[in-house]
Amino acid sequence: MDLETIYENVKRRDIESTTGPQTQSHGQYEGKDLKRRGSRCLVLITVGLGLICVLLLVFIILLHITITAERDLIKSYKNTVEEFNQTINSLQDNYTDLMTEKHQLQNNFNSLNKKKLELESKVTSLSEEAKKESSKQHQYTYVFMLLFRFIFDAHGFIKCMFLCGSGRFFISTELKSWSDSRQYCRDRGADLLIINTEEKQRFISSLVSERVWIGLSDREQEGIMKWVDNSPLKQGFWLKGEPNNTDNEDCIELNYNREKPGWSPLTSWNDCSCSEKIKGICEK
């Protein structure tokens, strides 16, 4: 029931009060009705106001909770920002320290680079000096080799004078097989050397400085050594373990190699393959 209806009822009661006593009982009834309706209206208003108050209270509580949450969030953001600022400041300090170290390292690098260039310059200078020294050493070595060659040739010349000067012995100048070496000697009115005495063996061994054929072989019959004049071998001057006839070795060399086990001036013969190419010693 709204206020206009209440107003109409009050107006109607005033009119009825002015109309006379004959209508008084009827008016009392309507008054009670109005009173009951007013009470109901007040109850409804009170309930509505109560609901509004409850809603307001709920709203205020929610608003408070929201504001508190936002405040905590803002506080958290604030702490985060402060930590972030502290981190930035710390990084800024580290950056400054690193830049300082970088400048120091750059200075050290420049200094080392300068020293490196100086050392490279010294190395270049020393290399040039070393090249000059090496060139001088090569020149000395070459002179020494020439001198050695001269002495060696002189020794060969003296030896040749000794061997050839007698007119009895000479060494071939070419490397040939046993047969070709013998032919070399024959072409010159000689033959391969026969050694039939210890003195001759000692004398030849002291002068020969390379492998040479001598005039001994078992080509005709294995194990039967004969000289080129068909005389049999009476005394041999063999290296240790020779003659061993390895791979059909039938021709005899005089080996000069003093490093061979058991070598001596009286033990220097070896049988080897007749096709080997070495020099031969000839005897007229």
Is residue 253 part of the contact set for Ca ion (CB under 5 A)? no
Task: Select the residue interacting with Ca ion from 172, 182, 193, 249 (CB under 5 A).
Answer: 249
Between CA 145 and CA 172, with CA 156 as vertex, the angle to 5 degrees is 120
Q: Is 176 helix (H, G, I), strand (E, B) or coil?
A: strand
- Does the protein bind Ca ion through residue 283 (CB under 5 A)? no
- Of 3-11, 37-45, 77-85, 250-258, the window that binds Ca ion (rule: CB under 5 A) is 250-258
**Cα 237 vs. chain centroid, distance in angstroms?**
60
Gap between the Cα atoms of 276 and 149, Å rounded: 28
What is the closest distance, in whole angstroms, from the C-beta atom of residue 178 to Ca ion in the complex?
Answer: 12
Shortest CB 210 distance to Ca ion, Å: 17
Q: Which stretch binds Ca ion (CB under 5 A): 119-127, 171-179, 204-212, 266-274?
A: 266-274
Q: List binders of Ca ion among 94-123 (CB under 5 A).
A: none
The yes or no reply on residue 275 touching Ca ion (CB under 5 A) is no
Nearer Cβ to Ca ion (200/226): 226
Site for Ca ion in 196-225 (CB under 5 A): 218
Question: Among 86, 111, 124, 244, which residue interacts with Ca ion (rule: CB under 5 A)?
Answer: 244
Residues 6+ apart with CB under 8 A from 178: 192, 213, 217, 251, 274, 275, 276, 280
Q: Which stretch binds Ca ion (CB under 5 A): 40-48, 164-172, 247-255, 260-268?
A: 247-255
- Options 119-127, 142-150, 172-180, 262-270: segment touching Ca ion (CB under 5 A): 262-270
Nearer to Ca ion, 251 or 282 (CB): 251
Rounded Cα distance between 266 and 238, Å, is 8
- 92/245 with CB nearer Ca ion: 245
Among 169, 171, 172, 250, binds Ca ion (CB under 5 A): 250
Tell me whether residue 113 is exposed, middle or buried, using C-beta atoms within 10 angstroms of its C-beta: 0 to 12, 13 to 18, 19 or more.
exposed
* Interaxial angle between packed helices 3-19 and 24-165, expressed in degrees from 0 to 180 and rounded to the nearest 10: 170
Q: How far apart are CA 172 and CA 49, in angstroms?
A: 149
Contact 251, 274 (CB under 8 A): yes
DSSP code, position 231: P
| CA dihedral sign of residues 272, 274, 279, 281 | positive
Q: Which residues bind Ca ion (CB under 5 A)?
A: 218, 244-245, 249-250, 270-271
